[in-house]
Amino acid sequence: LLFLTLTHINEITSRLNLKEENKVIIRTNAWHLMKHIIQRNIVILKDRNVNCLIICSLYAIAKLSKIELTFEQLLNAFSQVYP
């Protein structure tokens, strides 16, 4: 599950139209957040789709980091990777 999560985060962020440094910030922090959820709070995944949590994590990290990223841009990147 960890490998799948990391792969999805990398593939989605690579499709975003952002500066590379912003992609690295989002990618790194979202990975740490998802790793923490999977390793320490697995109950959060109950009845939820991992991809939904990944998308929400990416969006939250972008907002907390004051990186301009809309939810629509994020969903478009996701749909390019997973049509």
pLDDT > 90? residue 16: yes
Sole residue written with tokens 């998802």: 34
| 56-71 pLDDT, tens digit each | 999 999 999 999 999 9
Buried b (16+ CB within 10 A) or exposed e, 20-51: eebbebbbebbbebbeebbeeeeeeeeeeeee
Q: Which residues, 6 or more positions from 6, have their beta carbon under 8 angstroms from its beta carbon?
A: 31
Looking at residue 67, the DSSP 8-state letter turns out to be -
| 28-83 pLDDT, tens digit each | 999 999 999 999 998 988 898 999 999 999 999 999 999 999 999 999 999 999 88
User: What would the mean pLDDT of 7-11 be, rounded to a whole number?
Assistant: 97
The letter for the amino acid at 32 is H
